[in-house]
Amino acid sequence: MQIHPLSFRAAVLSSQSFLCVLALVLLSGLVAVSAASPEIFPAGVKRVVFLGDSITYGGGYVCDITAWLRTREPGRQFEIINVGLPSETVSGLSEPEHLTRYKFARPDLHERLERVLAQTKPDLVIACYGMNDGIYLPLDEARFQAFRDGIQWLHAAVEKGGAKIIHVTPPVFDELKGGHPGYGAVLDKYSDWLVTQRAAGWQVIDLHTPMKQALTAAREKDSAFAFAKDGIHPGESGHWLMARTILTNLGATDVADAATDLSMLARWRHGPEILQLIRQQQAVMKDAWLTATGHKRPMRPGLPLAEAQAKAGELEKQIKPLLDDKQ
């Protein structure tokens, strides 16, 4: 049978077109997979330490970020250490009524940072301060300067120890729930200053602005809405917003539309279990690390570090099989 030259040429072109389309589809698929699960931390980063006050100690956003890392980057071995300390400041300030009411002055990061860095040996520090640093009073230049001095000292100390540091602006303060008129504007100012440090080469994630915008938008629909019942400490939705903001700023492309931390884990059949087990690990380890590194705030001591690590290891045996079970 003879094949007409024009028909043969058309067939070849059609085949080539199909192969090109197929290649583009496959390439698009690879790009989509890559875009959905990028590595948010550079190669060589294994130990990540979170520093902050009671919001960080609460740990919801730390657990959510850990869950993202465990599910999206299962081949990398991360150790996520939460050493947030309730009531702490980086400014070194404490209001007199804090001592009267709670019987202790606010702890000062200056007192413990050297020990924390020496014992945890981080590759990367993520620090979120500011909420307590204006000690819930109107804007004052001396207090503002103490915050700036403390942040600059923290930045230099971490880098001197050989680690990288990412600063996160403080969560929003809700005056409607927390009182202290004018304190929201104080945190606006502190956050704005932190963002300007990008010009000095600092890595700064602005959490404050999107959280403030989200609070305003939600309250327009529901006047009773609040991220934090006391105006300070976010609940689960607030912690997820914190985690999502940090993750997207670090390059995660698959959480921007996730309404909750569980929806972030929707592709994993045992997503709720994974998150709950991670929360248990973090709860055991954060108290152990705080006790091991030492501080001056009265609070329940954690387990000895070796005992806590053994408990975390048992929980890890439950987590690992769940990571591969996707829907």
Cα torsion 224, 229, 235, 237 to 10°: value is 20
Angle in degrees, CA 181, 182, 188, rounded to 5: 140
Angle at 313 between CA 234 and CA 162, to 5 degrees: 70
| DSSP string covering 20-89 | HHHHHHHHHHHHHHHHHS---S-TT--EEEEEESHHHHH-HHHHHHHHHHHHH-TTS--EEEE---TT-B
> For the whole model, what pTM was predicted?
0.88
Phi, psi (rounded to 5 degrees) for 12: -60, -45
pLDDT at 65: 98
For residue 147, what pLDDT is reported?
98
pLDDT tens digits, residue range 214-234? 999 999 999 999 999 999 999
* Nearest by Cα to 228 from 300, 179, 282, 182: 179
Looking at residue 22, its pLDDT comes to: 34
d(CA 325, CA 75) in angstroms, rounded, equals 15
Domains and CATH numbers, the chain: 41-323 (3.40.50.1110)
φ and ψ at 245, to 5 degrees? -65, -45
Residues of the chain with pLDDT under 70: 1-38
- Could you tell me what percent of the chain has a pLDDT over 90? 84
pLDDT value of residue 91: 98
pLDDT of residue 37: 57
Task: Assess contact for 64 and 279: CB atoms under 8 A.
Answer: no
